[in-house]
Amino acid sequence: MEKNQIDTPNAYSAESNEISLQEVAFKFRVWWDYLISKWMVILSMGLLGGILGLAFAFYKKPEYIAVTTFVLEESGGAAAGGLGQVAGLAALAGIDIGGGGEGIFQGDNIAALYKSRSMLGKALLTEIDVDGNKQLLIDRYIDFMGLRDKWENKPALVNLKFSKAVDQPRTRLQDSVIGEIIEDINKKYLKVEKPDKKLNVIDVSFAAEDEIFAKTFNNTIVSTVNDFYVQTKTKKSLLNIGILQHKTDSVRAVMNGAISSAARVIDATPNLNTTRQAQRVAPVQRSQFTAETNKAILGELVKNLELSKMNFLKEKPLIQVIDEPVYPLKKEKLSKIKLGVMGFFIATVLTVFILIFKRFFKKLGETAQ
C-alpha cells in the first residue's frame, strides 16, 4: 500500500506532463493549419503592403545632404592661468579680469546651440539671394515643403509674411509657425555629431528636398552658431578691455592736463618777484605731483590693458572649417526594392497578428456562451 501510494502520484505527474506537451503541440498545429487556410488573405495583404512601399518610394522626393566639418580648439586653461597672474594688478583699477568666457560653454555643448530655438530661428529669418531674387530662408522652406497648399483653408496662414528685422515684434501666429518648423527641422533634418569623441571635430549635416535650401541653411546655421559661440566665450574679456581702455584714456587725459597746467602757470608769471614765489611754486608742484601720480597709475593700467588683450587672444576659441558643402550635394533616394520588401514583410506580419487575435477573441466569445 505504501509503495502504491508513493508511485501513483509520480506516474500521474509524468502522464500529466506528457498530455500537456501534446496539447501544446496540438494547439500549435491547429493555429498553423488555420493560418495556412488563410494564405490567400495573408499573401494579398503582403502584396498590397509591398505595392504601398513601392508607391511611397516613387512618391518620396530625394533628399540633398549638406555637411560642414569643422574643428574647435579652445585655450581656456592657458587663459585662466594668465588671468590669475594679472588679477592683482587689475584690482588697482577695480576690474576683475578673471574667468573670461570659461564656464559659460564647454566645447561639447556647442552641439546644443545648433538645436536651440534662438539659433535656428535666427538662421531661418536670414535673407538669401538666389538668382537675383532675395528671399528669407523660412519662406523658401514653406514653399518647397508645400505648406501654403496645406494651409489653403486658413487665410491667416496663407497670407503670413515674415520679416528679417530682428527688432520687429512678431505675432503669436508667426512664433507658432516658426516653432513648428524648428521642431520639424530638429527631428528630421538637422544632425550635429562628433565622429570621434576624443577629437574636437564636429560634423553638422542638414537634409532637405531643396538643394539650394540645404546648402544655404547649413552654411547659415554654422556661421550663426559659431559666431555666437565665439562672442559669448570672449564677451567678458571684451567688456574688461573696454573698461580698462576707458580708464587708461581718462588717466592719460588727467596727466596731460596736469603737465599743461604746470606749463601755463610758468608762462603766466615770466618775471615773478622773488618775494612772490608762492604764486608759481605751489601750483607747479601740485600739477607735477598730479602728473607723477597719474603717470604711475597709467603705467599699471597700460600694463593691465596689454595683458588683457593678450589673454583675450588666448581665450578666443579657434573654429576652423575643414569641409563645407559644395554643389552638387550628395543625393539620397529611398531604395524601391528595400521599401517594397519592407512593406510586404510589415503587412504580412500585421495580417497574421490580426487573424490570430480575431480567431482568439471569437473562440473566447464562444467559450463564454
Task: For strands 201-208 and 318-323, give the pairing.
Answer: unpaired
* 204 within some domain: yes
Do the beta carbons of residue 208 and residue 330 sit within 8 Å? no
Does 287 fall in a domain? no
pLDDT (mean) for 66-78:
75
Phi, psi for 80 (deg, rounded to 5): -65, -40
pLDDT for 25 = 79
pLDDT at 161 over 60: yes
Residue 286 confidence (pLDDT) above 80: no
pLDDT, position 263: 65
Give backbone dihedrals phi and psi of 91, rounded to 5 degrees, phi first.
-65, -25
**How many folded domains does the chain comprise?**
2
218 pLDDT more than 90: yes
Residue 300 belongs to a domain: no
Where residue 244 falls among pLDDT bands split at 50, 70, 90?
confident
- Measured distance between the N- and C-terminal CA atoms of the chain, rounded to whole angstroms: 45
Residue 83: its pLDDT value, please?
Answer: 46
Instruction: Give 339's contacts (C-beta < 8 A, 6+ positions apart).
Output: 53, 54, 56, 57
| Helices 137-144, 211-268: inter-axial angle, 10-degree rounding | 170
Residues 145 and 45 in one domain: no
Q: Which of 290, 283, 249 is nearest to 263 (CA)?
A: 283
Q: Check residue 186 and give its pLDDT.
A: 92
pLDDT value, residue 19: 54
Tell me the three state secondary structure of residue 321. strand
**Concatenated DSSP letters for 55-96?**
HHHHHSPPEEEEEEEEEEE--HHHHHHHHHHHHHHHHTTT--
Q: Is residue 156 part of a domain?
A: yes
What are the b/e assignments for 228-241, b being 16+ CB within 10 Å? bbbeebbebbbebb
Q: Is the same domain home to 230 and 361?
A: no
Tell whether pTM > 0.75: no
Do 232 and 119 share a structural domain?
yes
Residues 110 and 134 in one domain: yes
Q: Tell me: do 88 and 202 sit in the same domain.
A: yes
- Region 272-291 average pLDDT: 59
Structure confidence by residue, pLDDT tens digits, 207-216: 998 999 999 9
156 and 50, same structural domain? no
Instruction: Indicate whether 30 belongs to any domain.
Output: no
Residues of the domain holding 209: 63-242+316-332
Residue 283 — very low, low, confident or very high, per pLDDT cuts 50/70/90?
low
Task: Sort 186 into a burial class: Cβ within 10 Å, 0-12 / 13-18 / 19+.
Answer: middle
Q: 56 with 91, same domain?
A: no
Q: Of residues 45 and 275, which shows the higher confidence score?
A: 45
**d(C-alpha 135, C-alpha 97), whole Å:** 43
* 173-207 confidence digits (pLDDT tens): 989 999 999 999 999 899 998 887 777 888 999 99
